[in-house]
Amino acid sequence: MPSPQLLVLFGSQTGTAQDVSERLGREARRRRLGCRVQALDSYPVVNLINEPLVIFVCATTGQGDPPDNMKNFWGFIFRKNLPSTALCQMDFAVLGLGDSSYAKFNFVAKKLHRRLLQLGGSALLPVCLGDDQHELGLPSKFTLLFLQEAPSTGSEGQRVAHPGSQEPPSESKPFLAPMISNQRVTGPSHFQDVRLIEFDILGSGISFAAGDVVLIQPSNSAAHVQRFCQVLGLDPDQLFMLQPREPDVSSPTRLPQPCSMRHLVSHYLDIASVPRRSFFELLACLSLHELEREKLLEFSSAQGQEELFEYCNRPRRTILEVLCDFPHTAAAIPPDYLLDLIPAIRPRAFSIASSLLIHPSRLQILVAVVQFQTRLKEPRRGLCSSWLASLDPGQGPVRVPLWVRPGSLAFPETPDTPVIMVGPGTGVAPFRAAIQERVAQGQTGNFLFFGCRWRDQDFYWESEWQELEKRDCLTLIPAFSREQEQKVYVQHRLRELGSLVWELLDHQAMPSPCQRTSRKP
């Protein structure tokens, strides 16, 4: 399969736009993306109809005039006889380089962006406007307008889908599901903490089938939020309004207006993630401390990638920990740049481990709590699994933002089609949902290969499987890898019993007790 091709076209008067374009070209090639970089007037503009992906980098000169090396292109692109579908095959982005002290700030970039849309091009993002007057060259995407006092009406909160709503829960409007139980299902001496968590989805409008997944929006721990605010010198209770700098940019739907700094850090900024190279690039621009800035520039350079990997990626050092290592820089970060610097927390997907036919208005998941050690003193912890494990509905009401989407697993609808399922460890979760659903519908021929370490430590749903076996609704083939000298895994059981399973499949003519006592959906 041919690699995608990027074309970077620039209009430059003093060389700045050309320098930026060549840097874009280097970054593209570093990411294995084929890239050409050309001045606009040296490119045969009639070929633009065949270009799938183009970035335009253009300066503005004089009183809103294009640079000399794009004037021919400028005259051609504004011909009135060009059809409105001329560039319908092209995805594009426009980066303008200008000076806000001039009346026609970035006039060329703005006008070019509108014209490309008129000709059928598809914009990858709103026009980007660099400002030579700005201390960083590129202003922040948002401005935080701090409020002196709390507004008299309204309250801070997340946009959520309310019970009885006609609109199904989604990422922009999740359902705040009450947590019913949070039970550890591995033995106390087992190395892995695995939780069976149940939610009440009554009135949510959520519906799902076996194989579907639930997405959960996690939050940062209170201790991490407090530490972050201390390092950056932020008041957690400070309220602000988030205002986009450009009219085409909208505020994140997950953030309320007004919003507190605590809410922003707790529910939106992914301070527990491992930072990318671009994080160090922007942090270096924001740094006022000479020694720290020098190190940040080294980390963001091509020559410093090996050292950056050893410092950050190999030990899985988080954004919060990096900021603690660069305290002078962290304390000087303008709040306006927080959303440019730190990515948003992404939802985590979990296989649904229950069926609505057996557990109406309930949704269950099986969660392995992620924790491991690197050379850093503090253990590495999974954000979502650790957050879920910390929630205790026995201490008071707990609500978790979630929504459901179709999964990639599909099960046969015909009752006489047998299914062989292989689910080692927590991978058995979606098959538990499928078995519950199939048994409730009277479907037989359920074969489950399950693997774990110890029968008495991590044999999930052992009693449930045994009860289904007694009713001839399930054939269970377990493998316990640590209960004998020679390790036995699921794949060994598959090789040993594969022929036996096929033999059993050939004798499915007689109805089983499972069929005779099945529940109707």
Bridge partners (DSSP) listed for residue 7: 36, 54
Q: Is 104 annotated for ligand binding?
A: yes
Q: Is the C-alpha dihedral spanning 36, 40, 46, 52 positive or negative?
A: positive
Residue 64, marked binder: no
Q: Is 491 annotated among the ligand-binding residues? A: yes
Report helix, strand or coil for 89: coil
Rounded (5°) CA angle 345-433-444: 160
**Per the annotation, does 13 bind a ligand?**
yes
User: Is 17 labelled as part of a ligand binding site?
Assistant: yes
Say whether 332 sits in a helix, a strand or coil: coil
- Measured over the CA atoms of residue 92, residue 98, residue 101 and residue 105, the dihedral's sign is negative
Q: Is 408 annotated as a binding residue?
A: no
Q: Is 322 annotated as a binding residue?
A: no
Residue 102 among known ligand-binding residues = yes
Nearest Cα neighbor of 363 from 518, 520, 179 is 179
Which residues share a beta bridge with 5?
A: 34
- Is there a binding annotation on residue 39? no
Is 349 annotated as ligand-binding?
yes
- Tell me whether residue 12 is annotated as binding: yes
Amino acid letter, residue 316: R
Distances (CA, A) of 257 to 218, 243, 336, 346, 483: 20, 10, 16, 21, 56
| 26 annotated binding-site participant | no
Q: Is residue 106 part of an annotated ligand binding site?
A: yes
221 is in an annotated binding site: no
- Contact present, 57 and 10 (Cβ < 8 Å): yes
Cis-peptide, bond into residue 4, ω within 30° of zero: no
Residue 302, marked binder: no
Q: Is 488 annotated as a binding residue?
A: yes
61 is in an annotated binding site: yes
429 is in an annotated binding site: no
DSSP secondary structure, 65-81, as one string: BPPGGGHHHHHHHT-TT
Distance CA 384, CA 181 (A): 17
* H or E segment to which residue 496 belongs: helix 490-505
Q: Give the C-alpha separation, 105 to 107, whole Å.
A: 5
Name residue 259's amino acid.
C
Residue 311 annotated in ligand binding = no
Q: Is 487 annotated as a binding residue?
A: yes
Residue 69 annotated as binding site: no
Q: Establish whether 73 is an annotated binding residue.
A: no
Is 34 a known ligand-binding residue? no
235 is in an annotated binding site: no
Whether 489 has a binding-site annotation, put simply, is: yes
Q: Is 16 labelled a binding residue?
A: yes
Which value, in Å, is the radius of gyration of the alpha carbons in the chain? 29
Query: Annotation-wise, does 362 bind a ligand?
Result: no
The annotation status of 99 as a binding-site residue, yes or no, is yes
Show binding-site residues for FAD: 316, 348-351, 382-385
Show binding-site residues: 12-17, 59-62, 97-106, 132, 316, 348-351, 382-385, 426, 481-482, 487-491
Show binding-site residues for FMN: 12-17, 59-62, 97-106, 132
Show binding-site residues for NADP(+): 426, 481-482, 487-491
